[in-house]
Amino acid sequence: MDLVLQLLFTGIGIGAVYALVALGFVLIFRATNVVNFAQGEFSMVAAYLMVVCVELGLPYWLSFVIALAGMALLGVIFNLGVYYPLRHRTYLPVIIATIGASILLSNSVLAIYGPQPQVLQGWFDTPGIQLGPVYLDSQYLLIIGVTIFLVLFNFWFFEKTLLGKKLQATSQDKEMASLLGISVSTMIMITFIYSAVLGGLAGILVAPVLFVSIQMGSTIALKAFAATIIGGFGDVAGAIVGGLALGVIETFGAAYISVPYKDGFAFLVLIAFLVFRPQGIFGERVAEKA
Partner 1 sequence: MSASDNMIPAPAVRSKPLIIRHLPYFLGAAVLVALAASMQFDGYILNILLQATTFSIAVFGLSVVLGLCGQINLAQAAFFGFGAYAVGLGTADLHLNFWLCLVGACAITLVAGAFLGMSTLRLGGHYLAMVTISFQQIVTLVMINAVGVTHGPDGVANIRRPELFQSSQSYLAFCVAMLAIVGYLVWHLPDTKLGRAMRAVRDNELAAGVNGIDVFRTKVSAFAVCAVLGGLAGGLFAGGFAYVSPDQFSFAESIQFLTMSLLGGVASPVGSVIGTGLLILIPEWLRFLKSVPGLYLAIYGLSVILIIRFMPDGIWGFVSDAFTRWRAHTKAPPVAGALHLKPATTGGDIVLEVTGLSKHFGGLKAVDGVDIAVKRGGVHALIGPNGSGKTTTLNVLSGLYKATSGKIVLDGTDITNMAPHQRTAAGLGRTFQNIRLFRSMTALENVEIGAERPGNTMIGKGDDALTERAMEALTFVGLGSRANELISSFSYGHQRLIEIARALASNPTLLLLDEPAAGLNSTEKLELHELLKRIAVQGLTILIIDHDMTLVSEAAQHITVLNFGRRIADGESMAVLRHPDVVSAYLGSE
Binds partner 1 by CB under 8 A, chosen from 27, 31, 74, 101: 101
Decide: is 261 part of the binding site for partner 1 (CB under 8 A): yes
Q: Are 106 and 219 in contact (CB under 8 A)?
A: no
Q: Are 242 and 283 in contact (CB under 8 A)?
A: no
The secondary structure of 115-181 as a DSSP string is S--B----S-SS-EEEETTEEEEHHHHHHHHHHHHHHHHHHHHHHHSHHHHHHHHHHH-HHHHHHTT
Decide: is 4 part of the binding site for partner 1 (CB under 8 A): no
In the complex, the smallest distance separating the C-beta of residue 130 from partner 1, rounded to whole angstroms, is 35
Count of CB atoms situated within 10 Å of the CB of 237: 14
Binding mask 44-83 for partner 1 (x = CB under 8 A): -------------------------------------xx-
Closer to partner 1 by CB, 90 or 126: give it.
Answer: 90
The secondary structure of 185-244 as a DSSP string is HHHHHHHHHHHHHHHHHHHHHHTTTS-B-TTHHHHHHHHHHHHHHHH-TT-HHHHHHHHH
Decide: is 86 part of the binding site for partner 1 (CB under 8 A): yes
Give the C-alpha separation, 199 to 186, whole Å.
Answer: 20
Number of residues that bind partner 1 (CB under 8 A): 52
Closer to partner 1 by CB, 27 or 82: give it.
Answer: 82
Residue 139, burial from CB neighbour count under 10 angstroms (0-12, 13-18, 19+): buried
Decide: is 181 part of the binding site for partner 1 (CB under 8 A): no
Interacting positions 221-250 with partner 1 (CB under 8 A) = 222, 225-226, 229, 233
Closer to partner 1 by CB, 140 or 233: give it.
Answer: 233
Binds partner 1 by CB under 8 A, chosen from 55, 80, 108, 176: 108
Decide: is 173 part of the binding site for partner 1 (CB under 8 A): no
Q: What share of the chain is helix, strand, coil (3-state, %, to 5)?
A: 75, 5, 25
Decide: is 196 part of the binding site for partner 1 (CB under 8 A): no
* Interacting residues with partner 1 (CB under 8 A): 29, 35, 37, 81-82, 85-86, 89, 91-93, 95-97, 99-112, 114-115, 214, 218, 222, 225-226, 229, 233, 260-261, 263-264, 266-268, 270-271, 274-275, 278, 287-288, 290
